[in-house]
Chain A
Amino acid sequence: MSDIYLDNNATTRVDPLVVKEMLPYFTEQFGNPSSIHKFADGVARGIKKARKQVQELIGAEHDSEIIFTSCGTESDSTAILSALKAQPNRKEIITTSVEHPAILSLCEYLEKDGYTIHRMPVDKAGRLNIEAYQSMLSDKVAIVSVMWANNETGTIFPVEQMAEMAHEAGIMFHTDAVQAVGKIPMMLKDTKIDMLSISGHKLHAPKGIGVLYLRRGARYRPLLRGGHQERGRRAGTENTASIVGLGKACELAMEHIEFENTQVKAMRDRLERGIIEQVPHSFATGDLNKRLPNTTDIAFEYIEGEAILMLLNKAGIAASSGSACTSGSLEPSHVMRAMDIPYTAAHGTIRFSLSRYNTMQEIDEVIKVVPGIVENLRKLSPYWDGDKPVADPEQAFQPTYA
């Protein structure tokens, strides 16, 4: 069997139809969209079409609310910094403890500059406390930034409701929807969301292209100033081929969104059940009732994630892990820590993220392979004895220095 790719929350394969759409923009329609000659003729039209396609997928009211950027990270930074710049008297930001580093690292940096950051905690299932959120809203807050769906667990936050609440309190609302766009339906024009981030490479478009949705009328200050591109809201000559590619990818995502929420979800559920039923001391993390249809994050207790990934890789299966070792840091993923997953499990979490390219045969193959891998690694583990954990593992094995 050929290799099985279950790491689609990290990045996705570019759809061949997307590639086909892009190619002419490298060699034929390569002109600068601002130029007035035949090499640039179709370019402006191509971009316009892409803007419509993005608009359609997220249900924005106007196509001029779509600003093309270079990636999800740029969209996140632009949103937050714009809100601070446009409202200099508001020095607080509300966000969550489980955001992507694109938000969290920026907030840490802003904290040093004197901003106050409120990081909402989550419960053991990765959920926010909405009453606590309500009590944080004040006229000192410049922006609320809450991700639509979590990249590690797939947990979906009630951003539409939270945006309403922020709006009531007169506060701007941004959502990092990098993992949600294309996987779950959305209709932005019916919400009070002011800004939203998209990244192309998570929905079968190329890497290095993103979108910031900016509600018409929302106060805004550009991050990059220069030329008049994107109506002066994001200067820099347009990445035309990728913009056109992203447009096509949005159109395809729209066509497949039902498939994603039925077939892909069915594969995910089968995978999750198949593994957890066979492997003792394993469990799925996050809010299992409100989750992206393509994601399952499974904790395998008493073993470490990178070791699991290396053995999966040897078996031709690609996934990722929330363990410390895979990132080179010393702490397991901040998302696992925020959910208070014990260390003996947090280091052994594996995220399987599917796409419309996966098949049931592939899923069955993975279900066959995983139990053996876990068993082999547990044989090496000081926390494991025979076919079960040692009695009272945290007591039985207490290495010096912790």
Chain B
Amino acid sequence: MWDYSEKVKDHFFNPKNAGAVSEANAIGEVGSISCGDALRLTLKVDEQSEVIEDAGFQTFGCGSAIASSSVLTEIIKGKTLEEALNVSNQDIAAELDGLPPEKMHCSVMGREALQAAVANYRGEEWKDDHEEGALICKCFAVDEPMIEEMVWANKLRTVEDVTNFTKAGGGCAACHEDIENILEKVLKERGESFDPTAVAETPAAAAPETPKAPLTNLQRIKKIEQVLEALRPQLMADGGDVELVEVDGNTVYVNMTGACSGCQMAAMTIAGIQQRLMEEMGEFLKVVPASEMEKLHTIGA
């Protein structure tokens, strides 16, 4: 079964604010019965202050859908509509101490129900703007429609391109066959054919968001160092530490020390560091223990 946090279990076994609020003046109904999740959120909003005085949920769905609904009602009660709209799906997941990647859509559904309820209160119509599909990359929770859209929009041709643009496939690599299948399908629709030996576009030139001037090498390394620096207190709390050793293209070599090095947790920690680095740097990066670098060099020599 899923590896749910204690918080998820607690909200599932003892849901808060279950049922419809009487005299609700804001109702949001979202979800998809074919996907097995659907949520009706009812709110009682004070018309003067726009404060959410009461919130209730009715959910058809799995454990994490019910937990996400429950925690959402707890988060938004007492907030104004504006404040409530700032609640992201990550906030919902974080309040539950995280959700498995396959279940992140439950938190998305919570946020959408909220948007729909606010729209309903304001007499607007709410339209969902994303399509959900089969989860392809379990490391970074990227689904099929997302990859397809990026392949279309950016004329991607290789698995590496897809990883650069969406992160999908940047972790354990088990989904590379699925990504190739998507490439094959979209390229065919575009009248091209997929070439598994094609070389990826250079990520710098192709990256979708290059808001600022490109960093110099030195600036880039310094920024990577800052990100790692920011992660250290957390690692040290677990009895470990991390140190930047070398940056070579897309590969960041680090030294893991203390409780983290060598243990099973190291691989997970490295994946976490990698994800954080990619988020902060806005580019695809691979984090590798420095010990691997030595190995590679000896092979090369």
Contacts and interface: CB of A to CB of B under 8 A. Distances in A.
Interface in A265-304: 302-304
Contacts of A383: 60
Contacts of A302: 60
B151 interface: no
A388 interface: no
Interface string A331-366: 110000000000110010000000000000000000
B39 to A, nearest CB: 7
B135 interface: yes
B121 interface: no
Nearest to A342: B33
Interface in A293-331: 302-307, 309-311, 313-314, 323-326, 328-331
Nearest to B138: A328
A312 to B, nearest CB: 11
B36 A382 contact: no
Contact of B116 (A306, A314, A328, A400): A400
A348 B216 CA distance: 56
Contact of B33 (A303, A313, A344): A344
Contact of A380 (B59, B126, B128): B59
B208 interface: no
A26 interface: no
Contacts of B286: none
Interface in B38-75: 38-40, 57-66
Contacts of A324: 35-36
B252 to A, nearest CB: 30
Contacts of A343: 33-34, 36
Interface stretch (B12-20, B233-241, B263-271, B292-300): B12-20
A395 interface: no
A398 interface: yes
Given A397-B38, A399-B39, A325 B134 contact: no
Interface in B81-136: 102-103, 112, 116, 126-128, 132-135
Given A328-B135, A343-B36, A344-B33, A382 B59 contact: yes
Given A398-B29, A400-B29, A402-B32, A325 B61 contact: yes
Nearest to B34: A343
Given A381-B58, A397-B29, A401-B30, 20 more contacts: A302-B60, A303-B60, A304-B62, A306-B62, A307-B65, A310-B9, A310-B12, A311-B13, A324-B35, A330-B36, A331-B34, A344-B60, A380-B57, A380-B59, A380-B66, A382-B40, A399-B30, A399-B33, A401-B32, A402-B34
21 contacts: A304-B36, A306-B62, A307-B63, A323-B36, A328-B135, A330-B132, A330-B134, A331-B34, A332-B34, A332-B36, A344-B60, A380-B18, A380-B66, A382-B58, A397-B29, A397-B40, A398-B29, A399-B30, A400-B127, A402-B32, A402-B33
Contacts of B32: 399, 401-402
Interface residues of A, number: 34
Given A313-B1, A328-B102, A307 B61 contact: yes
8 A-B pairs closest in CB distance: A325-B62, A306-B62, A382-B58, A328-B102, A347-B36, A401-B128, A324-B36, A382-B40
Given A313-B1, A330-B133, A397-B40, A307 B35 contact: no
Residues of B in contact with A, size category = 35 or more
B31 interface: yes
A225 interface: no
A382 B38 contact: yes
A332 B37 CA distance: 11
B33 A382 contact: no
Nearest to B41: A382
B134 to A, nearest CB: 6
Nearest to B31: A399
Contacts of B38: 382, 397, 399
Interface of A: 302-307, 309-311, 313-314, 323-326, 328-332, 343-344, 347, 379-383, 397-402
B29 A329 contact: no
Contacts of A344: 33, 60
A302 B40 CA distance: 14
A324 B126 CA distance: 26
A350 to B, nearest CB: 13
Contacts of B64: 325
A367 B13 CA distance: 21
Contacts of B13: 310-311, 314
Interface string B17-30: 01100000000011
A329 B135 CA distance: 7
A309 B9 CA distance: 13
A382 to B, nearest CB: 4
| Most-contacted residue by chain B among A306, A313, A331, A400 (CB, 10 A) | A400
Nearest to A402: B32
Nearest to B132: A330
B29 A382 contact: yes
A132 to B, nearest CB: 27
A383 to B, nearest CB: 6
Contacts of B12: 307, 310
B215 to A, nearest CB: 38
A307 B30 contact: no
Contacts of A307: 12, 61-63, 65-66
Contacts of B59: 380-382
A15 B181 CA distance: 43
Nearest to B135: A328
A306 B37 CA distance: 11
| Most-contacted residue by chain B among A324, A401, A402 (CB, 10 A) | A401
Contacts of B61: 304, 307, 325
| Most-contacted residue by chain A among B9, B31, B116 (CB, 10 A) | B31
A281 to B, nearest CB: 13
| Most-contacted residue by chain B among A344, A381, A383 (CB, 10 A) | A381
B179 to A, nearest CB: 15
Contacts of A329: 134
Contacts of B34: 330-332, 343, 402
Nearest to A337: B34
Contacts of B126: 400
B1 A380 contact: no
Contacts of B39: 382, 399
